[in-house]
Amino acid sequence: MTKKEIAELCCRKCVVNTTEVHLGRGLEVRYLVSFGLSGHELIVLKDMLNRGEHFEENDLKAYINNALTRADIEIK
Protein backbone atom coordinates (compact mmCIF):
# COMPACT_ATOMS: atom_id res chain seq x y z
CA MET A 1 0.00 0.00 0.00
CA THR A 2 1.11 3.51 -0.66
CA LYS A 3 1.29 6.09 2.13
CA LYS A 4 -1.77 7.80 0.63
CA GLU A 5 -3.75 4.53 0.67
CA ILE A 6 -2.71 3.84 4.27
CA ALA A 7 -3.73 7.36 5.35
CA GLU A 8 -7.12 6.94 3.64
CA LEU A 9 -7.63 3.56 5.31
CA CYS A 10 -6.87 5.00 8.74
CA CYS A 11 -9.38 7.81 8.17
CA ARG A 12 -12.13 5.58 6.77
CA LYS A 13 -11.46 2.60 9.13
CA CYS A 14 -12.44 0.15 6.38
CA VAL A 15 -11.98 -0.01 2.62
CA VAL A 16 -13.65 -2.62 0.41
CA ASN A 17 -12.44 -3.29 -3.12
CA THR A 18 -13.71 -5.88 -5.55
CA THR A 19 -11.84 -7.92 -8.10
CA GLU A 20 -12.72 -10.73 -10.48
CA VAL A 21 -10.56 -13.85 -10.31
CA HIS A 22 -10.45 -17.42 -11.57
CA LEU A 23 -10.08 -19.86 -8.66
CA GLY A 24 -10.88 -23.09 -10.46
CA ARG A 25 -14.64 -22.57 -10.40
CA GLY A 26 -14.84 -20.01 -13.17
CA LEU A 27 -14.81 -16.25 -12.88
CA GLU A 28 -16.00 -14.96 -9.52
CA VAL A 29 -16.07 -11.67 -7.67
CA ARG A 30 -13.91 -11.47 -4.54
CA TYR A 31 -13.99 -8.72 -1.95
CA LEU A 32 -10.75 -7.30 -0.56
CA VAL A 33 -11.49 -5.81 2.84
CA SER A 34 -8.88 -3.72 4.61
CA PHE A 35 -9.33 -2.44 8.14
CA GLY A 36 -7.49 0.47 9.72
CA LEU A 37 -7.84 -0.40 13.39
CA SER A 38 -6.10 0.67 16.56
CA GLY A 39 -4.71 -2.03 18.82
CA HIS A 40 -7.75 -1.71 21.11
CA GLU A 41 -10.19 -1.97 18.18
CA LEU A 42 -8.41 -5.10 16.93
CA ILE A 43 -8.69 -6.70 20.38
CA VAL A 44 -12.42 -5.89 20.50
CA LEU A 45 -12.92 -7.37 17.02
CA LYS A 46 -11.05 -10.55 17.94
CA ASP A 47 -12.98 -10.90 21.22
CA MET A 48 -16.29 -10.50 19.37
CA LEU A 49 -15.29 -13.14 16.83
CA ASN A 50 -14.10 -15.53 19.54
CA ARG A 51 -17.39 -15.23 21.44
CA GLY A 52 -19.18 -16.14 18.22
CA GLU A 53 -22.41 -14.57 19.44
CA HIS A 54 -23.16 -12.93 16.12
CA PHE A 55 -22.24 -15.79 13.81
CA GLU A 56 -24.03 -19.03 13.08
CA GLU A 57 -20.85 -20.49 11.59
CA ASN A 58 -17.25 -20.18 12.75
CA ASP A 59 -15.90 -19.73 9.20
CA LEU A 60 -15.36 -15.99 9.57
CA LYS A 61 -13.73 -16.45 12.97
CA ALA A 62 -11.36 -19.08 11.57
CA TYR A 63 -10.55 -16.94 8.54
CA ILE A 64 -9.74 -13.84 10.64
CA ASN A 65 -7.67 -15.83 13.14
CA ASN A 66 -5.78 -17.50 10.28
CA ALA A 67 -5.11 -14.10 8.68
CA LEU A 68 -3.80 -12.74 12.00
CA THR A 69 -1.54 -15.78 12.38
CA ARG A 70 -0.21 -15.51 8.83
CA ALA A 71 0.48 -11.81 9.39
CA ASP A 72 2.37 -12.73 12.57
CA ILE A 73 -0.03 -10.68 14.73
CA GLU A 74 -0.52 -11.97 18.24
CA ILE A 75 -3.36 -10.69 20.39
CA LYS A 76 -3.45 -11.77 23.99
The per-residue pLDDT for range 3-48, each reduced to its tens digit, is 988 888 888 877 888 899 988 888 988 888 888 888 888 887 777 7
pLDDT value of position 56: 56
The per-residue pLDDT for range 41-61, each reduced to its tens digit, is 888 777 777 776 655 566 667
pLDDT value of position 75: 60
Angle at which helix 59-70 crosses helix 39-51, to 10 degrees, equals: 140
pLDDT value of position 27: 92
Query: Cα separation of 69 and 75, whole Å?
Result: 10
Query: Cα separation of 43 and 76, whole Å?
Result: 8
Is 74 a residue whose pLDDT tops 70? no
